[in-house]
Amino acid sequence: MEEPIFQQRTDLSALNAAVMAIRSEIKKIIVGQDEMVKLIIAALLADGHVLIEGVPGVAKTLTAKLVAKSVNAGFSRVQFTPDLMPSDVLGTPVFNPKEASFEFKKGPVFSNIILVDEINRAPAKTQSALLEIMEERQATIDGKTYPMASPFMVLATQNPVEQEGTYRLPEAQLDRFLFKIVVPYPSETEEMNILTQFHQMGNTSALDMINPALNAEQINALRKQIKMQVMEEKLLQFVARIVHQTRNNKSIYLGASPRASISIMNASKAIAAMQGRDFVTPDDILTVAIPVLRHRIILSPDKEMEGISEDDVIRQIIQGMDVPR
C-alpha cells in the first residue's frame, strides 16, 4: 500500500468537527450569508473581534446571537445609544454601607462573548471605553486593573455611516477589529428561502433551536492549536508586501498598521485550519486580506469622490503583485 504524499502534522479533526457543528447549528436559522458565518468562526478561532456592517434587517444581530448561543460560554449584550456612558459598559464603583467602602460592580463587558449592538450610535467617548479591553483584555477603573475572562470576543454591529444618527468610529477603535464584514442584501432565491423557513418555524423561537457545539475550554485549546499552524517565510513576506503597498499607494491617504499584518497572519492560519490543513497557502491570505484591511485604510479624498471603495483599491494592490506558489 502506498504511503500518503501529505502527512498531517497536527490533528485537526476536533477543530473541523467543531466548525461543522457551529455551521450546521447556524444554518438552521440563517439562509445564505456563508461568508459572514465563515469569518465570524475564523475570528473566534483566531482570538479576534468582528465588526459587522449592514443596513437594518439583514440578520447582523441575529447571526451574532446565534454564534454566541452555539458556544457554551458567557454572553452579554450592550445596546449602544447616544446617551450611553463608559460606566454603563465597564461598570462603576458602588458604595457598600455595611463595609463603609466602595465596591466595583462589573459591567456587561465582563463576559466571554460580548455583542455590542449598533456600536456607531454612541459617541466617541463611550466607544473608546472598549479600546483597552479589546487589545489588552483588561479594564482599568479607578487605578485598579480587572482582567477579562478567557476566551474573550467582541461582536459589534453597525449601520452604514451615511445613515441618520451615527457617529464615525475612531481609527484606533477600527484597528482593533480583526475583520469588518459587510453584509449584503439576500438574493431573490435566498429571500424566498427565508420566508419559507420562518413560515414553517411557527411559534418556535430561533434561539431555542440552537444547541451549544463548543465550550470555553475547547475554544482556548483550539486557539493554541491554530497558533501552531505552519506558515512559510515566502508567505510572511507576501503578507508584509501587501500591507506595505497600502502605505505607498496614491489612492490611499492612510495605510494599514503592523497590527494589520499580524491580523492577516492569524486569520489565514484559522482559515487554513478550517479547511483541514495545518499549513497556510496563498489562497488563505487572499481570502482574509480584504475583510482584514477594508476598515484599516483611508482613501484619498479624490478617490472617495470618484466612488471607488476600499475593497476595489485592495483588489488592485493584490492583482498587481506576484502571488507566491
> CATH number of the domain that 52 lies in?
3.40.50.300
> In terms of residue numbers, what domain contains 265?
229-325
How far is the C-alpha of 64 from the C-alpha of 158, rounded, in Å?
Answer: 12
* 171 in the same domain as 68: yes
3-state secondary structure of 79: strand
How far is the C-alpha of 292 from the C-alpha of 19, rounded, in Å?
Answer: 21
> Does residue 196 belong to any structural domain of this protein?
no
How far is the C-alpha of 235 from the C-alpha of 181, rounded, in Å?
Answer: 24
* 73 in the same domain as 141: yes
> Does residue 8 belong to any structural domain of this protein?
no
| The pLDDT value given to residue 65 | 84
Cα three-residue angle 120-36-187, rounded to 5 degrees: 100
Cα three-residue angle 176-178-180, rounded to 5 degrees: 100
Domains in the chain, number: 2
119 to each of 36, 123, 261, how far by Cα in Å?
A: 18, 9, 25
* 137 in the same domain as 251: no
Whose cell is 475570528? That residue is 43
> Does residue 17 belong to any structural domain of this protein?
no
| The pLDDT value given to residue 287 | 92
Backbone angles phi, psi at 106, to 5 degrees: -65, 145
Backbone angles phi, psi at 97, to 5 degrees: -65, -30
Q: Which three cell numbers stand for residue 47?
A: 482570538
| The pLDDT value given to residue 2 | 46
3-state secondary structure of 14: helix
How far is the C-alpha of 75 from the C-alpha of 52, rounded, in Å?
Answer: 18
How far is the C-alpha of 3 from the C-alpha of 38, rounded, in Å?
Answer: 33
Q: Which three cell numbers stand for residue 225?
A: 492549536
How far is the C-alpha of 7 from the C-alpha of 9, rounded, in Å?
Answer: 6
Backbone angles phi, psi at 196, to 5 degrees: -60, -45
| The pLDDT value given to residue 31 | 80
What pLDDT digit, counting tens, does each position of 254-295 carry? 899 999 999 999 999 999 998 888 889 999 999 999 999 999
* 169 in the same domain as 101: yes
What pLDDT digit, counting tens, does each position of 116-167 carry? 988 888 888 888 888 889 999 998 888 888 999 888 999 999 888 666 777 8
Task: From 239, 205, 226, 204, select the one nearest 318 (Cα to Cα).
Answer: 239
Interstrand relation of 179-182 and 138-141 (parallel, antiparallel or unpaired)? unpaired
How far is the C-alpha of 189 from the C-alpha of 176, rounded, in Å?
Answer: 36
> Does residue 303 belong to any structural domain of this protein?
yes
What pLDDT digit, counting tens, does each position of 199-258 carry? 887 777 777 778 888 888 888 888 888 888 888 899 999 999 999 999 998 889 989 999
